[in-house]
Structure 1
Amino acid sequence: MGTPTKKRPFTLEVDDRMDKERAQSKGQEAKDCNASSSKNAMSPMDSEYQEDLEETTSDLKIKINKHFIKGFRGKTGEAAQDKDKFDMKRLFSAVSSGEVAQLEGLEQYLQRAMKHLTDSEYRSKGKTALLKALLNLKEGRNHTVTLLLDIAEKMDDLKEFVNAAYTDIYYKGQTALHVAIERRSQLFVELLVQKGADVHAKACGKFFQLHDGPCFYFGELPLSLAACTNQKDIVDFLLDNQFQNADVRETDSQGNIVLHALVMVADNSPENTDFIIKMYDHILTRAAQLHPKVKLEEIENKQGLTPVKLAAKKGKIELFKHMLHREFQDKDTRHLSRKFTEWVYGPVYSSLYDLSSLDSYEKNSVLEIIVYGTEIPNRPEMLQVEPLNKLLEEKWRRFAHPIFLFNFVVYLIYLSIFSIVTYPWKPESNQTNQTPPYPLEKTLDGHLLLSGQVILLLGSVYFFLKGLSDLRRKRPTIESFPVDGLCDLLFFIQAVLFLASTVLYFCSRKEYLGCMVLCLALTWINLLYYSRGSKNMGIYGVMIQKVIIGDIFHFFVVYMVFLFGFSAAVFTLLDKPQEQPEQGTQVACKTVSVTNFTATALELFKFTIGMGDLEFTDRYRYKEVFYVLLISYIVLTYILLLNMLIALMSKTVQRTSDESTNIWRLQRATTILDIERHLPKCLKRRLRSGVEKVLGKGNVEEHRWCFRVQEVNWNKWNADMRIINEDPGNQEVWMPPEEPSEAS
């Protein structure tokens, strides 16, 4: 681990500026302070010259004015008036130009004025002349850098000068070593490390964290910066040099090591993926050579995520695919592989995939992260990466499918009981004036009815608790709601309706019947949840969910605007109904009178479905306006909106036909993990997928839990590959010679 640079708790600086200069400086500082108070103000990384206000630090600094020390060292303040005086403006301008001649006399001036290059007078928000020089390289060179380091070394201030860091909120912690790496100057990187630069300095400013706006997260550490900017030579130098080696286990403020940082930088583009994969493998192998006992890929960050889990959580599919398929042929690094070729015959390969941290048998596994990670945009595609695809298929075949069918049968029984019990539960004709709860007959039918009601109540309590647990665990987003949350929400609403109906029933409220019949209808609709057990029905169910959540919901919102708007306008034109005539008086029964706003809206709704009547009432004013409103409503809703809905639904079905299969597989994967989660530990252990294999690491045997996948690759043929078994076939069970062996 790196040793942080110690700051001097007490510093004594010399200020040789004249009173006029000091007053001007204070005025500029006050101006800069007001300017920097804006929250949106952002200090530039570099400019020709900065006069930013130096922020207050916790260090105690006392400055001495040499003009009050007469005859000190035989001088009477001439140094402050000499033409070779160096202030920050002159110093920064000289190092920006890269001309050593402009720094002539700097060392003599500093010694004569008793100053250091690390004094606050020569620092702009932490930026020193060294940082300024490195930010202004020309063709990778700036000769003033070496001169500055030599001056600091002669004045016994080298370590603090080399490790001086930005204190600005945006670039806080960035040192000269960070800048040299970012400028891709291996010469100055080696020079700085030789001069004592801290290889574990952390650039933790806002610019180096993930947020909206300009930023670049690289893991804060110099090693991570070199790796994330594809500088292999600098990575090798930092890992192995004679001055100070970078520790690959060093973490940043988020607990990420260099491998985590590479995962965060990956963006699935071809050019990015190519160098990220090469750098990832290079650091992995170099770390294994330098630190054989360190298992770098098993280090977790503060979120409990290893690099492979982080790649799964962030949806970095290309890097994730490489991690799972990584296979080293070299004997010394083969133990770093996650894939091992068991046997090969022509284009047929039998591969063993390491299941560590992948299988849902372990807690917080990669499989659970992908299946339940609603914020991952490409979850369906990631589940198609081997061995996850075949692993889910085996889980479905071994235990999930039989249990799913059993649950389906149980739900059918529950639905049948609900449908049978509902009819006798409603009040009889002779009980319409009575209040619930109604008495049960002490007969066989009465006891069966009571038993059915108890079963329904217990089932609703189960669905209620399960719905709460699923919604809390999955936390579906708006984008993932059709995939992750719709079915769980419908089952939860079903349970709430039944429980509400039960409460109303025992509270002697007749409204219980409304909740109960709504629950019955929803119970039948929820039967479609079990369509995911079949591929064809599952894909059809996915399309229905997409259409309901997308097109029909949007249509409903727009339609309600039209319906309420025109209903209010039409209702305003209607006259109040006249009093009912006395008995015996003949009245022309022509139309039905509309007495309230709800009835008006209902009549207009009939126009939408083609059942309306333009003469549904004759009590209106301004006949022309009345018919204009009705005709406009018909055109906008029945002709326009409904046809738009049909067109959008057709387009949605066509667009989602390709992705519906992947979504169905994701839904089935969710079902598999939900079933596995509720299995007893003993049964889960027996049904665990994969086999334990002994894989050699040199002369040391290593036990790994692997999953066997048979693959066919016509672009790759057996060419001096390292394989575990020479002959193909079933390696687990011996088959008689006369029977053909089945490849595993």
Structure 2
Amino acid sequence: MHVTMDIDKTRRPKEEFFKAAHLNDTNSMKALLMSEDFDPCIRGDLEETILHTALFNGNKEIAEFILDRIPALIDEPITSDKYRGETPMHIAVLKQDMEMVKELLNRGADVITSRATGSCFVPGEDCQCYYGEFVLSFAACIGNEEIVRTLIKHNAPLDARDSLGNTVLHLLVLQEEASHAYSMYDLIMSLMTEKQQPSLDCITNNDGYTPLKLAVAEGQMEMFNHLLEKQKKPYWRMGTVSYCTYDLTSIDTWEDQKSVLDIITKSKDTKESYQTKEDYVRLVGELITVVGALIILISELIFLSKIGLKNYLANTSNGGPYPLLLICYSLLIIAAVVMRLLSEDEEAFPMSFALIIGWCNTIYFARGFKTLGKFSILIQKILFGDLMHWCSLVFICIIGFTFAFYILFVTLDLTDYPYFRNFAMTLRTTFELMMGLLDIPLPYDKPTPSNVFVIYILYMLFVYLLLLNLLIAMMDDSYWRIIPEAELLWKVQFAAVILLLEQRVPAFLKVRSGIPGSSLGFDDDKWYIGVEEILPETEGDTSAPIQRHYNVKWNRVRKNLGKIIKMKESAESTIL
């Protein structure tokens, strides 16, 4: 990545100095520098000097002439907030201008203390590149090995730490282009002496991370494996078998509060997900969701093991396929939790399907309402009856016509028919044609074989017109066949919901309904429910005496109950 100042769009001063530097006008620049009444230290809108401008425009001749006339500009930094601290050497490195890097070094340019600390070069909203402030770090992040070798040869410090405490090795870990970061890391380590290598590897930044730990914290597993491989020391080798040792100093938790194991278990992504008050409120909801998913999974698996898979799916009173969807929902939630703990980006995949299934399961919980319960039964019957059979038939037809389209178009120039360029794309196009989402995508400005139109017409007549209307007819037939018994099935489902809730209510909250047998003079260990039945009285009906006899007995029971209640109340009042 190259950092370039927006010089072309900025309003330049009226002085011809910057105009000559910007336009690479060597003659005008020499004439201006030779004049005695002109201030050569004037700065532009970005607080840059004329040497910065000349280097940005790559004019080596003007830059050398400026250095000859005004040598003090060689280490003069830009002073604006955005580019503060950027010296001519920084610019030469960013431009990868090896000739100017050598020229500046020969003239005594500072490569030890020069630091680019402007907002453009440090992490923040305005950051365009974070290259570690020092000239050597810039060169290493750019990936120019020749410049790195040259700077190290001129005593550029390898252990220099920027405002975040990062050395050049830390900066290489943070680079996205891992290929050149590996080679640059190995190059720098090879240019160090044996005394420097252990000390440089152990330098920690402001967060307490060495380069190895930083790779783990940032999730750079390829770089972590590379650094771990660099630490490997072969102990003995015999043929193809070798015994190697790895340094555990920064990996295990012995006397290290920020070991590699600690960093892995305290993932940065997880930490950053919960910072504000709203994040912790969301965390409570997530915990409730996870615990609920575990409870659902365990309870449903226990029930499934008792009645078997076949009965589990066929049990209409228990919700049919919806409990199976609950199991899928629970498994997807658990998978999303595992992926979050492992900082996997694919976490959104199981979560999105879990959300869909979760909303679909509202139909299962809505079956307690009379109107919605009937529709729940209809959806279940049609989904696993008519629709599954119809989908099987349509799948066979679509596959057949897809092969037909693919064979026809494979002999043509596929650049003109991108929707049929391979079998997968042809299958997708065929499906969209069946749903009426797409007209046949043909270039009408070029001739197309008539066979294509024949197959297309047959496909639309058979699949789009015939099979779709067949599905509508099947669903209509199922509706009128199911609706007479839908209310009865809903009552069964309603009872199943009550029993389901009763099983999950704690025992101390349950109150038994009915009439104890002791109150009726019956068995003490039994409970009864009284039902008053009135049968129609008709002349000549042999059941009439039974009705009168039954009513007399029930009236007697009610009188006895009234007496028992009064006796109980009088006894309680006497005791009080």
Normalising by structure 2, we get a TM-score of 0.45
Q: Which has the higher contact order (CA 8 A, sep 6+)?
A: 1
Larger radius of gyration between Structure 1 and Structure 2: 2
Structure number with the higher helix fraction is: 2
Normalising by structure 1, we get a TM-score of 0.35
